[in-house]
């Protein structure tokens, strides 16, 4: 009678080593992909800061805040009026106050992108309009009225694509911030009102180009799903975080 041979310890060790190498290779590849996405997103945001600065050098106003946009763009942006929370489509002009207004009566954060496009600085024909999605008004659509980004996002419970929105700055006038946030808001307000990151996903952006602290510096993380406040980087699974990239000092003039 023949005895069945099993695996030797050496053979089992070799198999375990191979499995370990395969798992390690997958994790390394995933990490490289995520790092590349972060770097590409940061470069895109930095490029927008440069374009906004160039726009202001040409017009004396930030994109979105340009009060004579109707005249400058020959009506290509719509009518000679300022978009408001109740009338946010087909309106050209900002109010010229030095900020990118949002969340109140004046809504300039969609025409921010349209002004850059009409100036020939961006290739995507952004519409400048807010959209109604179901029962939600004044919503963002990445690649349509806000910038689409290549970032990874898992933190948002309602599967939001998210994108890059423009809003007010860090105080005073003549500055603004760019937000990686939800394209549309589950609560029914503007794009900046819902986060799409886990806190642990937001932190690498802050570490890469700023101080790595959620509440200070030019990159800050906010938890905007329900209660407003800074995200907690030590709680890596905390949901509903958004990132604010404040305008670099060298571009504030």
| CB-CB contact of 37 with 152 (8 Å) | yes
Q: What is the pLDDT of residue 185?
A: 60
Render pLDDT for 217-245 as a digit per residue (tens, 0 to 9): 999 998 876 567 899 999 988 888 888 89
Instruction: Tell me whether residue 132 is in a domain.
Output: yes
Residue 134 above 50 pLDDT?
A: yes
Instruction: Tell me whether residue 208 is in a domain.
Output: yes
pLDDT interval class at 168 (50, 70, 90): confident
Instruction: Tell me whether residue 33 is in a domain.
Output: yes
Q: What is the pLDDT of residue 158?
A: 42
Cα-Cα-Cα-Cα torsion 233, 235, 237, 241, nearest 10 degrees, comes to -40
Q: How many domains does the chain have?
A: 1
Residue 74 belongs to what H/E stretch?
none
Cα separation of 166 and 66, whole Å? 14
Instruction: Note down the domain range covering 190.
Output: 21-251
Q: What is the pLDDT of residue 6?
A: 63
Instruction: Tell me whether residue 156 is in a domain.
Output: yes
CA R_g for the chain: 23
Instruction: Tell me whether residue 13 is in a domain.
Output: no
Q: What is the pLDDT of residue 156?
A: 46
Mean of the pLDDT values across residues 66-90?
A: 93
Question: Taking Cα atoms as reference points, which of 45, 92, 44, 47 lies closest to residue 65?
Answer: 92
Residue 20 above 50 pLDDT?
A: yes
Beta strands 136-139 and 131-133: pairing type? Answer: antiparallel
Instruction: Tell me whether residue 5 is in a domain.
Output: no
Instruction: Tell me whether residue 15 is in a domain.
Output: no
CB atoms within 10 A of CB 53: 16
């Amino acid at each position: 009678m023949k005895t069945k041979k099993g695996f030797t310890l050496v053979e089992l060790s070799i198999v375990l080593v191979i499995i370990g190498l395969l798992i390690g290779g997958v994790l390394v590849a995933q990490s490289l992909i995520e790092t590349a996405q972060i770097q590409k997103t940061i470069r895109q945001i930095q490029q927008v800061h440069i374009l906004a600065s160039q726009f202001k050098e040409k017009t004396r106003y930030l994109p979105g805040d340009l009060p004579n946009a109707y005249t400058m763009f020959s009506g290509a942006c719509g009518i000679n009026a300022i978009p408001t929370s109740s009338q946010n489509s087909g309106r050209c002009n900002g109010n010229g106050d030095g900020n990118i207004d949002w969340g109140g009566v004046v809504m300039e954060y969609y025409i921010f992108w349209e002004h850059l496009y009409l100036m020939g600085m961006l290739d995507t024909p952004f519409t400048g309009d807010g959209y109604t999605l179901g029962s939600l008004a004044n919503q963002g659509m990445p690649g349509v009225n806000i910038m689409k980004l290549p970032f990874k996002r898992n933190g948002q419970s309602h599967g939001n694509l998210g994108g890059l929105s423009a809003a007010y700055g860090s105080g005073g006038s003549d500055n603004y911030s760019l937000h990686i946030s939800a394209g549309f808001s589950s609560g029914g307000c503007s794009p900046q009102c819902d986060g799409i990151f886990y806190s642990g996903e937001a932190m690498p952006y802050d570490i890469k180009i700023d101080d790595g602290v959620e509440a200070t510096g030019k990159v800050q993380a906010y938890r905007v799903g329900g209660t407003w406040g800074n995200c907690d980087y030590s709680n890596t699974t905390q949901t509903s975080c958004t990132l604010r990239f404040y305008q670099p000092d060298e571009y504030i003039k």
